Amino acid sequence: MKNSSQITTRINDQIIEIAGDKAFMPLGNFLRNSEGLTGTKIVCAEGDCGACTVLLATGTDSSGKLEFKSVNSCILPLYLVDGAQVITVEGIGKMEGMKVDLSEVQKKMIDNNGAQCGYCTPGFICAMAGAVESCKSAGTPMTEKKAKNYLTGNLCRCTGYQPIIDAMMSVDLGKAEFLKERYHNAEWIGKMKSIKKTSVEMKSLERSLFLPATLKEALKIKSQELDVRLVAGSTDLGVVVNKGKLETPKAMALYHIEELGSISHDAGHIIVGATVTLTQFEEYVENHYPEMSRLLHIFASPQIKNQGTLIGNVVNASPIADTIPFLMVSDAIVVIQNESGTREVVLKDFYLGYKKLDIAPDEIVTTIKIPILSQQEVTRLYKVSMRKDLDISAVTFAARVILDDSNKMTSVKIALGGVAATVVRLTDIEKALTGHDFTLKAFEDAAATLDQYIKPLSDLRASSAYRMLVSKNYFTKFAKEIIDQIGGGK
């Protein structure tokens, strides 16, 4: 296996090589401070406002062209763009000397008065260019729903959103330049592929970076460097690092390892690799687990989902992580590997306490296996947060029930998040409900016993009493929705 001691990326038209500790810099800071690309703005530095949005292509689509997605450059360490193509706001329009040729999205932003102070505008332009790429690639029109969704991750404090949405809606997709065509360069794409097959190892007095190209190599590094920090999309880690609450002097990212970047399935499971992003997962589950797809629609923003991974969400182990309740009621299996072998842990048993996991320092989570749902199952996932989009949950709820032909519950799985140190399965309530007819009363009675099993905390997001009330109400909501679905109205 080839080895490199530098990372290589292409920013707009320029190929850039970076060696040493600089590779740990956030991409946004590098663009502004080292490359003079100051169109990219840094405001919150925690993935929330979108001012730092750039487009990133880590690979190609089925036609061999670069596939661009919007990401937040403030929380993305440079070492995560080895072998990738970046487009900044400077690369969306064209500049020749003093002559500026604005892109279609930029023109529409002006025509619709979409900018006042203009500080958020470069981020919006990149998010809009990402939306255009996506619609043109899929051959689908821009709808208002899509426009709003693509702009969820961008905040504007002075213009108001309607002119920006109007600008997005008025973009003529036929006229808008296809960035994947403009930036297509067969030589660079060939180089991207060979970079991905090359392991990177960089060590200085202060820092070590590992980008192994094979799983074997990754497991060896983890057995030798027990304190090395695994980094997936950096959407959790990047925020804590930027806040100065964590340092990652030794980091290892797995995205060069091809086998960990895909979703596959066997007869009973969907198998999701460690570097599969939440966007890839969302697209895949649309047909397999529509409830999960619905919930992912209100998970963070496109920028975060294009970068963050499912396994990052699971290992980060937040009690309010949005994917965990679903995975818990699905009896998902965490596949963990070290140099000596592989073991599988049911997700419910993976969490030992607040951010305490059943994983040893030499181990890596390589995949997660999600059982395929059967025909007789009914599932619902709920999340309550202070606002609908781009907000962290106060309470999450998942229920999965198998019914027989007479609507008797033969299996019941219920999980709650935001009410304890980890997401919890309510196994006593599950047992009490199993064998009963599916009725509203059965769930109301179950909700009445909830005080025995959970003692939610009060914090900034919600009070203990509110969390308890919402949890109980979710039992009723679930029962009513399912009765409407299966009929009977018991």
Ligand X SMILES: Cc1cc2nc3c(=O)[nH]c(=O)nc-3n(C[C@H](O)[C@H](O)[C@H](O)COP(=O)(O)OP(=O)(O)OC[C@H]3O[C@@H](n4cnc5c(N)ncnc54)[C@H](O)[C@@H]3O)c2cc1C
- For ligand FES, the binding residues (CB under 6 A) are 42-45, 47-52, 72, 74, 115-121, 156-159
Position 393, amino acid: S
Per CB under 6 A, the segment of 105-113, 176-184, 199-207, 233-241 that binds ligand X is: 233-241
By the rule CB under 6 A, 236 interacts with ligand X: yes
- Helix ranges, 72-202 (H): 104-111, 121-138, 144-150, 161-169, 179-182, 186-196
By the rule CB under 6 A, 125 interacts with ligand X: no
Cα distances from 475 to residues 3, 319, 456, 470, in angstroms, run 55, 19, 16, 9
Q: What is the smallest separation between the CB atom of 16 and ligand FES, expressed in angstroms? A: 21
Provide CB contacts within 8 A for 490, sequence distance 6+: 407, 437, 438, 439, 440, 483
Closest CB to ligand FES among residues 307, 379: 307
Residue 347, binding choice from ligand X, ligand FES, none, Cβ under 5 to 8 Å by partner class: none
Q: For residue 120, what is the DSSP state?
A: S
Closest CB to ligand FES among residues 148, 294: 148
Closest CB to ligand X among residues 168, 230: 230
> Does an H or E element contain 328, and which?
helix 324-329
User: Binding to ligand X (CB under 6 A): which residues in 356-415?
Assistant: 364-365, 390, 392
**Beta strands 199-203 and 3-4: pairing type?**
parallel
What is the rounded CA–CA span in Å between residue 490 and residue 214? 56
Closest CB to ligand X among residues 176, 257: 257
Q: What is the smallest separation between the CB atom of 44 and ligand FES, expressed in angstroms? A: 4
> Does an H or E element contain 433, and which?
helix 427-433
Residue 370, binding choice from ligand X, ligand FES, none, Cβ under 5 to 8 Å by partner class: none
Structure tokens at 451: 């005080």
Question: Which of residues 11, 37, 48, 103 is near ligand X by CB under 6 A?
Answer: 48
Q: For residue 309, what is the DSSP state?
A: B
What are the backbone dihedrals phi and psi of residue 254, each rounded to the nearest 5 degrees, phi first?
-105, 10
Residue 233, binding choice from ligand X, ligand FES, none, Cβ under 5 to 8 Å by partner class: ligand X
By the rule CB under 6 A, 416 interacts with ligand X: no
State the helix-helix crossing angle for 104-111 and 161-169, rounded to 10 degrees: 130
Q: What is the smallest separation between the CB atom of 405 and ligand X, expressed in angstroms? A: 37
Q: What is the smallest separation between the CB atom of 138 and ligand X, expressed in angstroms? A: 24
Residue 42, binding choice from ligand X, ligand FES, none, Cβ under 5 to 8 Å by partner class: ligand FES
Count residues near ligand X (CB under 6 A): 32
Q: What is the smallest separation between the CB atom of 392 and ligand FES, expressed in angstroms? A: 15
What is the rounded CA–CA span in Å between residue 169 and residue 455? 47
Cα distances from 362 to residues 1, 84, 238, 257, 338, in angstroms, run 22, 29, 22, 18, 6
Residue with tokens 């049911």: 346
Structure tokens at 468: 């308890």
Q: What is the smallest separation between the CB atom of 257 and ligand X, expressed in angstroms? A: 10
Q: What is the smallest separation between the CB atom of 256 and ligand FES, expressed in angstroms? A: 25
The site for ligand X (CB under 6 A) is made up of 46-48, 229-237, 239, 254, 274, 278, 299-300, 304, 308-309, 311-313, 315-316, 321-322, 364-365, 390, 392
